[in-house]
Structure 1
Amino acid sequence: MIWTNPEPVADVSLDLHIQVPQKFAARFETQYVLLRDLIFERTSAVKDDVLIHVRTKAMEGGTSDKFAIIEAGGFYEVDGGEASVIPDEAFVGINTDPNDIPSKIDWGFVTTPQPALGGRKLDYTRGKTLGGSSARKYLVTSNSFEYTLSARKEVILSAGGFQSPQLLMVSGIGPSDTLKQYNISLIANLSGFGQNMWDSLILGPSYRVNVVTDLLISQNSEYAAPIAAQYINNQSGPLTYAAGYAACEKLPYRSTFRASTNASLAFFPSDWPELGYLPVDTYTGYPSQPSTSMLNDSFNCETIFTAHVAPLSRGNVTIKSTDTSDLPIINSNWLSRPADAEFAVAGFKRAR
């Protein structure tokens, strides 16, 4: 927060105060810091914040100075490493250990404990990792300082699949019972708001194979070095192959399904696929822990992922407070319908 001092100061052309969080005040190791023509003077504390008095000396022949105050920090492309810019790294962070979330590139959206997963929680990765065009964990904030913005025309706000419902709920649009719980003034009672979330798990078997796969390239530096040189120098070799295969189908056999499962499939159109397949030439394990979850041997591996693309289980998103800085409560509700559990098993068998 920056504001001007209304009282004139004889020896300066600009006189500002800055309110910064207490945790950042330690960066001002001395009471006065002179940076070119700027003087930072640490003054008093207000609650959890510290007031920094900023003065700039009048430059000779000038009437005023202009400057920008930018908080020190790194660049996410550097701090986050290759995971911030390579699309293939979009899966980094997906696991059931909330303590293993790559905070440099991930917001840390975690589900509620899922009964179908033995009470485990799962991280939802957030953001695009395509050429550094955008980033996860990149936030512009006013350091908790509240202010009002006005607009002459319609403004459309979007905060993604999870936080768009949250944004509207804290604004008074959503289930009245939820809003009443947090003393939020009701604008529109929409009981279905934040409900009907569709999502499905991806799973599949991994096998050792007798052909060269990405697993060998990623784990054997002696093998990978000439391949990398071949690509850099001649744009040829295994690394030029960027294509992949994917397929969808309606499960051809279902005689073992319960009658209720077969009946539930009538919800979808007759040409709607039920299973999706994605072959990957590696052993995945936890994508965020490749060094510990990979098979540490000389074998090559292939994994065939399956996804149930006609799920019947429905999740929901709700709020835990009136503050949008608090992450929403996400209940994906995976495999809560018996039909989805049957398809998960059938898909695994089909891939196997």
Structure 2
Amino acid sequence: MQEYDYIVVGGGSAGGIIAARLAEDPHVSVALLEEGPRDWYPWIHIPGMLYKTATGGLLRRLEYSQSEESRSAASTTVQGQVLGGGSSVNGMVHVRGVPEDYDGWEAQGATDWGFQKVLPFFIRAEGNDTYRNVMHGTHGPLKVSSPRTVHPLTRAWVQACQENGMPFNPDFNSGQQLGCGFYQTTTFRGRRSSVAQAYVHPAITHHGLTVLTACRVEKILFEGRRATQVSVVQDGKPQKLRARREIIISAGALNSPRLLMVSGIGPADHLRQAGIDIVADAPNVGQNLQDHMDVYLIYRLGSTRSYDRYKSAHMKAVAGAEYALFQNGPAASNIIEGGAFWWARKDDSRPTIQYCFLPGTGVESGVTPLEDADGCTLNICLTQPDSRGSLQLNPSNPHGQAVITPNFLSHEQDMARMIEGIRVGMEVMSQPSISQHLARLHQPEKAFTNDSEIASYVSRYAQGALHPVGTCRMGSDSEAVVDPFLRVVGVEGLRVADASVMPNLPSGNTNAACVMIGERAADFIKNPSQRIDS
């Protein structure tokens, strides 16, 4: 049996960082287990190939279970299944959220996870090419860059936001999120800066990190109440790996709770129904599921050209040549160049709608394609939904896909905020700076005349934003799944460190928060004598 001091399950944004940081100690051995392949596919590393990573074979598709409470027709979701996880396939938008997000975690029992306590770990990870101040780091492994290429349509849209009353915001990660501007991205000199590239590969080369890809973890094995082994199947061969010190699960908000439950940690009655031997009764494993909701508007352009012009073979060759020679041009853009944060309700304590403008079409799933013209896309995202879902094992096949019930838009305020988000988004698109470039709406086919029409559109087209969190909530109370050190309550030698431990969603894309969790989890493990309340 192969033995390691630490075994990290899941090579995504949190797990890759934990494994790499632990491997910095020459006196310990670390294994990182990833179900997907290595990140050798060339399109991963070219930002403009987002349309392939967002829809291609590096994603695992999961079915949703619909509930009577849900008002969304969304039926599936996807997870990155490749070394680097979501950081290897996502839109590269680098958004932390706002201080109130993390102060809210602390208020819910996540002791010492307030913003001032997590900020040093955001900074530790960040290698920013633009900002150097108390909110940003410049020497971290994860490279964060201002846009290398900005399409004229994106600039026009940001100006339209200002015409509609939004202030210009030069830095969405300054602690003040309100307004419009240009997103910073996890890119460096025109290439994606994934966790695999920034952390894992250097740790393999310089620190002897062991990485096992195509390695599916079946369950965690216990000796008494201590986690000691991991049962895996690699290249079709079952085997067991032993952890001398700890096992860290970083398999994501849809897989970490499933793995806990098949290993015997979860709601006791539910585990009995599924035929699982109980190690620890943990009623809230799989509960508190949250995801941002987003919906899109597609516009047909007039004579203005968008990135859609590069869909032809000839223009792809032109873009490829510019990228090869100068690491610039459309291939260096993540397509999601401009954005904004705004209130859905004026009495909201923080912005609750996020806008992403794309000077092109085809990245979003479910869009009726534009075959004969160029277009642009406006994505409207609800950042603080009140709806909550859950995840359970399938009793008839507990080791298969879990039963995921997101309950999207089940809370009436979520629909009300989405309606307002679309209304404001269409107001922006009617402003002179951007409207002069538009021919007409493409999806929907015509403007809405009332809130009922908007609600019907949202119900049909809104989907999860691929930011699931919350299913292994951390806290100091008896109902928490993990404590503030991320140790699984009721057992020993086991932690969970990924988006599943977040009590609530951050206000915006979740990758930056997962990176922070990875950095902090590694710090907890490497410095076990620290006190959480000091």
What's the TM-score, normalizing by structure 1?
0.58
Name the counterpart of 2:294. 202
Higher RCO, 1 or 2 (CA under 8 Å, sep at least 6)?
2
Alignment counterpart, residue 338 of structure 1, candidates 398, 408, 412: 412
Q: Deviations over 1:234-264 (max 9, x none)?
A: 55655555681222122366xxxxxxxx7xx
Match in the other structure for 1:216: 309
Letter in 1 for 2:79: T
Q: CA deviation at 1:348?
A: 1.4
2:266 to 174, 183, 186: 174
Q: Name the structure 2 match of 1:296.
A: 371
Which has the greater radius of gyration? 1
Counterpart amino acid of residue 124 in structure 1? V
- Matching of residues 64-83 of structure 1 within 5 Å: none
1:59 corresponds to: none
Alignment correspondent of 2:72: 117
| Corresponding position: 1:328 with 2:281 | no
Equivalent in the alignment of 2:60: 107
SS of residue in 2 equivalent to 1:330: strand
Question: What amino acid does structure 2 have at the position aligned with 1:248?
Answer: F
Aligned 8 A contact 1:111 1:124 in 2 = no
Any conservation in 2 of the 1:335–1:341 contact (CA below 8 Å)? yes
Partners in 1 of 2:47 and 2:403 — Cα distance? 27
Instruction: Tell me which residue corresponds to 2:337.
Output: 244
Alignment partners' CA distance in 2, 1:284 and 1:76: 26
> What residue is the counterpart of 1:37 in the other structure?
none
* Residue in 2 that maps onto 1:46: none
Is 1:190 the equivalent of 2:282? yes
CA apart distance, 1:221 = 3.9
Relative to 1, partners in 2 of residues 1:245 and 1:183: Cα closer, same or farther, differing over 3 Å?
same
Report the CA distance between 1:181 and its aligned residue.
0.6
Q: Alignment partner of 2:270: what SS?
A: helix
Task: Classify 1:239/1:171 alpha carbon distance in 2 versus 1 (closer, same or farther; 3 Å).
Answer: closer
CA distance in 2, matches of 1:86, 1:150: 37
Taking only the aligned residue pairs, the percentage that are identical comes to: 23
Q: Give the equivalent residue in structure 1 for 2:451.
A: none
**Structure 2 unmatched runs, 5+:** 1-36, 90-191, 198-210, 217-232, 427-534
Give the aligned residue type for 2:76: L
Count of matched residue pairs: 248
User: SS in structure 1 opposite 2:275?
Assistant: coil
The 8 Å contact of residues 231 and 237 in structure 1, kept in 2 or not, is answered as yes
Give SS of 1:108's match: strand
Aligned to 1:70: none
Question: What's the offset of the Cα at 1:189?
Answer: 2.0
**Change in CA separation of 1:154 and 1:309 when aligned onto 2, cut-off 3 Å:** same
Aligned to 2:256: 164
**Displacement of 1:165:** 0.7
Partner amino acid for 1:179?
A: L
**Gapped runs of 5+ residues in structure 1?**
1-74, 95-100, 254-261
**Deviation of the 1:274 alpha carbon:** 0.6
- RMSD, matched Cα: 3.7
Partner of 1:277: 355
Distance 1:326 1:84, change over 3 A: farther
Indicate conservation of the 8 Å contact 1:278/1:304, yes or no.
yes
AA matched with 1:314 = R
